[in-house]
Structure 1
Amino acid sequence: MNQTNPKLWTKNFIALSSVNFTMTLIFFLLNATIILYAINEFNASTSQAGIIAGIFIIGSLLGRLFIGRLIQTKKILMTWLLFFILTTLLYFTHLNIGFLILSRFLNGITVGVVTTVVSTSAVLSLPTSRKGEGISYFAISTALATGIGPLIGLKMSQNSNFDMIFSFSLLLGIINLIIAVLIKFPTNNITEIKKEQRMKISAFIEPKVIPIATLMFIMAFSFSGIVSYLNVYASEIGLLDTASFFFMVYTVFVLISRPFTGRIMDKKGANIIIYPALLIFGAGMLLLSSVTTGVSLLIVGALVALGFGNISSISQSIAISLAEPHRVGLATATFFIFYDLGNGFGPSIIGLLIPLTGYKGLYVILGLIILASVLFYHLMYGKNERNNKKQLIN
């Protein structure tokens, strides 16, 4: 029984998923509130507030580049969780905008390192026959944090002060450090770069993953147009009250669909999920451009969950399958670097488009981009899936 259906929910996997959930939650919680904090506390301009929000992404990217090429151990995880706690304490030092930018940058590095380490370790701890399903479950921790983090942040900013938000983040960091004590790293968790390769680009990213990571960049870029501007758009069309339930619906449909899509991928391959998910995500974005009722807006939330929510987890599975076992850490880091780039640069670039297109026009453009990505995926991976299917299953 165990040979045909090996155990997935081990103590290690649950612990790693918990750390990933809380670190991602902190990321979205702080991102949802830090601009308001900068404006209220330091009278920051909108451009300064944008830098304060974006510098965290840059720090996270550098953290992923740094850690992806190293052997990832429990000692490294605990060290960087401690650094996370120390850099979170910097938020309590209300000096000036420059110091806040530095604090955000350092804090971002620690989050990038920790989430890469736990993601790599979680993937390597999964049984090969259930890897797609396992990654889908692990990715649920990210999806939940994506919806819950901003919700908690906005509620706390409305009902308490910013020091309480920082204290909550600090508490989660301490809890993570305690959880990390219980984690046992898999013996095959190896990402070692030979000395003669250390100056090559392949020492920092996994080239084989770039095509599927580029698809993830496009998807994250498009999704950021919802995360960053949904409330403003909903206010414009008179659906602001309904918008508060959007990510609740999104989270529910992610929870429902991801376990099934992961199992299907393990048996049938990625194409059977990715092609429909791209079409569903694109259709959801186009529908968003023309919603007029609360029900239609919530339907969009469900479509986006079935589309983007599954594209992200299945794409990660593909990325892992394309890498050699000793480069899984680099593959994970590369995938999330492109994911972060989409999330990080999306809001600023989209913000420049909105005056030209309006919100309705913006979502039409993003919907068409997503639909066009069907061809991109087909050319970059889909048409060759038969050749890679053995990798995905093994």
Structure 2
Amino acid sequence: MNKEPLWTKDFISVSASNFFLFVAFYFLLVTMPIYAIQELGGSPAQAGLLTTFFLISAIIVRPFAGQWIEQFGKRAVLISSQVIFLGASLLYFFPDTLNMMLAIRFIHGIGFGMATTATGAMVAEIIPGSRRGEGMGYYVMSTNLAMVIGPFLGLTVMREWGSLVMFTMCIVISGLALIAGLLVNLVESKNNVRVMSIFQVKFNPRDLFEFSALPIAVVGAFFSIAYSSILSFVSVYAEEIQVGEVASYFFIVYAVVLLLSRPFTGRWFDQYGANVIVYPAIFLFAAGLLLLSQAETALIFLVTAGMIGVGWGTLFPSFQTIAIQEAAPQKKALATATFLSVFDFGIGLGSFIIGWAVTGISFRTLYAYCAIYVIVGLFVYLMLHGKQEKKKRQMI
């Protein structure tokens, strides 16, 4: 039997648009804490707030973005959100205080939240149903590749050429995201809506959230709190243990190992179900964090990148695929928005908690605690989805 086509023009275009969005996101995510501390005179906790404010606005706008998608269509929401994202990127040159930068990060997060909701809804429609796990795995790989290229570019550009070139690069990357978005030609039914209806949003919880996606979204948010310690502070930790010269390569190793594992993990998800993939990934994620807490050389530091790459890099697309699969066809856009909103809440909360925690404990202790925390997450997954998944597989 011939497989349904996966690598279509629209799939490649929406994945490319998502890739550039996340390159810009991670580009700034790893550099803004350094910029805030070194050039704006902020503390580590205040530096963490730059991530928190960005993600708070993304979280707030996503439920409404799901409704706007139903009203105006996925492509219209994607393009308008990418214009906002690009416009916010132009503003980074101007702030000279932390409060001004927080305001810009909030605006930037609105564009990001809308755009990632739209791309997630688009790809859920584009991917053939029989290849959902595989397709979502490759789509999320665009995020994972951005997680490598963004930090590498950001740290390299900031170290070699400074913040002005860094912000210029962010504008270029945001422009590429918009161009890729314009290439998506998704056929959608036309709704007769007025422009003012953008403000006529529904505040009923069932219109704002897809409740079938909440359990796995909570699981994702739980793990994302631990992962935020990597996103926000692994480069700072590398400087502390005197391996700062290889800090940007952490995410390259992460990506290489992830790319090697992705062709297998996506297919295994489709064939054997989520549990076969999720439980080993949790243990590998925890082991990577524990080893990171003990790292003293560049080699060990980079080995942990590979372990975390396979561990977390497998968990995230698996959770997002589950959220989409659990929702009715007409609710997949809202399920995507719900999952990403709750997930980003975990990242934002984690960035603040981690920034606050490192004022009282060392990074080594922090990463050791995060390893224990991830193991606890195994039981969170078991209770919220793992048991149901096991019963479902037994009925097949």
TM-score normalised by length of structure 1: 0.89
> Comparing 247-256 with 196-205, which one deviates more in the overlay?
196-205
**Compared CA separation, residues 390 and 148, structure 1 to 2 (3 A):** farther
1:310-346 residue CA offsets vs partner (Å, 9 max, x unmatched): 0001111111111111111111111111221222121
Separation (CA, whole Å) in 2 of partners of 1:73 and 1:16:
11
Match of 1:69 in 2: 67
- Percent identity of equivalent pairs: 34
| Pairing 1:46-125 to 2, within 5 Å after superposition | 48-70=46-68, 71=70, 72-94=73-95, 97-125=98-126
Separation (CA, whole Å) in 1 of partners of 2:386 and 2:45:
41
Separation (CA, whole Å) in 2 of partners of 1:120 and 1:53:
24
Query: Is the 2:213–2:323 Cα contact (8 Å) retained in structure 1?
Result: yes
Separation (CA, whole Å) in 1 of partners of 2:99 and 2:292:
38
1:306 Cα offset (Å) = 1.3
**Compared CA separation, residues 204 and 249, structure 1 to 2 (3 A):** same
TM-score normalised by length of structure 2: 0.89
**Compared CA separation, residues 74 and 98, structure 1 to 2 (3 A):** same
Structure 1 stretches lacking a partner, 5+ long: 191-195
Match of 1:160 in 2: 161
Among 6, 15, 19, which residue is 1:21 paired with? 19
Instruction: Give the 3-state SS of the residue equivalent to 1:68 in structure 2.
Output: helix
1:177 Cα offset (Å) = 2.5
1:226 Cα offset (Å) = 2.2
**Compared CA separation, residues 5 and 390, structure 1 to 2 (3 A):** farther
1:270-294 residue CA offsets vs partner (Å, 9 max, x unmatched): 1110011111111222222223433
**Compared CA separation, residues 233 and 106, structure 1 to 2 (3 A):** closer
**Compared CA separation, residues 358 and 170, structure 1 to 2 (3 A):** closer
Separation (CA, whole Å) in 2 of partners of 1:387 and 1:91:
51
**Compared CA separation, residues 88 and 127, structure 1 to 2 (3 A):** same
Residue 211, structure 1, aligned to residue 209, structure 2: no
Residue 174, structure 1, aligned to residue 178, structure 2: no
Among 249, 252, 265, which residue is 1:248 paired with? 252
**Compared CA separation, residues 295 and 110, structure 1 to 2 (3 A):** same
Match of 1:128 in 2: 129
Query: Is the 2:57–2:106 Cα contact (8 Å) retained in structure 1?
Result: yes
Query: Is the 1:124–1:188 Cα contact (8 Å) retained in structure 2?
Result: no
Query: Is the 2:62–2:341 Cα contact (8 Å) retained in structure 1?
Result: yes
| Pairing 1:206-285 to 2, within 5 Å after superposition | 206-285=210-289
**Compared CA separation, residues 296 and 170, structure 1 to 2 (3 A):** closer
Opposite residue 173 of structure 2, the aligned amino acid is L
**Compared CA separation, residues 174 and 283, structure 1 to 2 (3 A):** closer
Over the aligned positions, Cα root-mean-square deviation in angstroms equals: 2.9
Separation (CA, whole Å) in 2 of partners of 1:38 and 1:359:
19
Separation (CA, whole Å) in 2 of partners of 1:218 and 1:257:
24
1:98-148 residue CA offsets vs partner (Å, 9 max, x unmatched): 443322211110011111101110121100000100000001111111121
**Compared CA separation, residues 212 and 235, structure 1 to 2 (3 A):** same
**Compared CA separation, residues 389 and 126, structure 1 to 2 (3 A):** farther
Instruction: Give the 3-state SS of the residue equivalent to 1:184 in structure 2.
Output: coil
Query: Is the 2:275–2:390 Cα contact (8 Å) retained in structure 1?
Result: no
Query: Is the 1:25–1:149 Cα contact (8 Å) retained in structure 2?
Result: yes
Query: Is the 2:22–2:147 Cα contact (8 Å) retained in structure 1?
Result: yes
Separation (CA, whole Å) in 2 of partners of 1:121 and 1:175:
18
**Compared CA separation, residues 358 and 168, structure 1 to 2 (3 A):** closer
Query: Is the 1:281–1:306 Cα contact (8 Å) retained in structure 2?
Result: yes
**Compared CA separation, residues 44 and 347, structure 1 to 2 (3 A):** closer
Query: Is the 1:124–1:186 Cα contact (8 Å) retained in structure 2?
Result: no
1:96 Cα offset (Å) = 5.1
Separation (CA, whole Å) in 1 of partners of 2:49 and 2:301:
31
Match of 1:193 in 2: none
Match of 2:204 in 1: 200
**Compared CA separation, residues 352 and 40, structure 1 to 2 (3 A):** closer
